[in-house]
Amino acid sequence: MTVPLSVLDLALLGSAATSADALRDTTEVARRADELGYHRFWVAEHHNARSVASTSPAVLAAHLAAVTSRIRVGSGGVMLPNHPALVVAEQFAMLEALHPGRIDLGIGRAPGTDPATASMLRRAPAGLTDAEFPRYLQDLLGLLGDPRTSDGVWDRFAATPVAVTSPSVLLLGSSDFSARLAARLGLPYAYAHHFGTGATLPALRLYRETFVPSAVLDRPYVIVTINVLAADSDDEANRLADPQRVRVLEMLTGRREQLLLSPASAAAHPYLDKARRLPINLIAGAPGTVAAGLTALAGETAADELMVITESAEVATRVRSFELLAGVWSKARTRRNPGSGSRPGRNGASARSPSATRCRSAAASAAGRNAPTWPGAGCRPVPAPGR
* Angle subtended at Cα 313 by Cα 15 and Cα 197, rounded to the nearest 5 degrees: 105
Nearest-angstrom CA–CA distance, 133 and 144: 17
Closest CA to 70 of 343, 380, 353, 381: 343
Q: For position 334, what pLDDT does the model report?
A: 52
Q: For position 343, what pLDDT does the model report?
A: 31
Q: For position 251, what pLDDT does the model report?
A: 81
Residue stretches of the chain with pLDDT short of 50: 337-387
pTM over 0.75: yes
Q: For position 135, what pLDDT does the model report?
A: 92
Q: For position 49, what pLDDT does the model report?
A: 82
Q: For position 140, what pLDDT does the model report?
A: 97
Q: For position 233, what pLDDT does the model report?
A: 98
Longest dimension (CA), the chain: 69
Q: For position 46, what pLDDT does the model report?
A: 86
Cβ neighbours around 315 below 10 Å, total? 19
For the residues of 139-182, what is the DSSP string, one character each? HHHHHTT--SSSSSGGGT--SSSS-S--PEEEEEESSHHHHHHH
DSSP letter, residue 30: H
Terminal-residue alpha carbon distance, the chain: 16
Q: For position 15, what pLDDT does the model report?
A: 77
Nearest-angstrom CA–CA distance, 237 and 380: 46
Q: How far is CA 114 from the centre of its chain?
A: 21
Question: Is 165:380 a contact under the CB 8 Å cutoff?
Answer: yes
- 54 CB-contact burial (10 Å; exposed 0-12 / middle 13-18 / buried 19+): buried
